[in-house]
Amino acid sequence: MGNRISLWVGPVIVGVYAAVMVMTIAVWDPEAAVPGLRYQQIVAGLGEAGVDIFGSVVNLIVWGFVGLVLALVLSILGLTGRVGLVPVIMGHLLVIAGGAPVYFFGSFSLGIDVADTFAVSGGVHVPTGDALYAVSGVALVVLAVVGIRRAANRQPALV
């Protein structure tokens, strides 16, 4: 029973990561970058500047959904017994680690649009961006440590 529950932890984490990523890029960071305006005013200003905010947000949601689907497929493969628990967890960690480049590239275009439209500085303006990078970094470190340990356990000692 414990393994069955642990197979769903990955998709939950990926889902939360994706939701935070979308909210950070589409809402929280623009609000923090332009503190004198309400979100509706920021969206209106971007629209007047010719920015397709709806298309940008849909793209972010699609990328988040792709990560979630990958995590769900891994969990289903684990539940059916086609894949063991460790490879499923490693796959989940890989999806989470892959969130960092998705976040970076996903935030780049809209961040530039906000900066150009409102003459503000670019970059990350909210702590959730750093938190996303940290979560991805931890996942990558765990992947590396587990991978190295598994490889070391399979190699004969050099004596």
- Tens digits of per-residue pLDDT, 11-35? 999 999 999 999 999 999 999 999 9
Residue 2's pLDDT band (boundaries 50, 70, 90)? low
Q: Two tokens at 152? A: 């070391």
Question: Angle at Cα 151 formed by Cα 4 and Cα 149, nearest 5°?
Answer: 65
Side-chain-side CA neighbours of 155 within 13 Å: the count stands at: 9
What pLDDT, on the 0 to 100 scale, is given for residue 123? 85
What pLDDT, on the 0 to 100 scale, is given for residue 13? 96
> How distant, in Å, are the alpha carbons of 22, 92, 124, 152 from that of 157?
47, 31, 47, 9
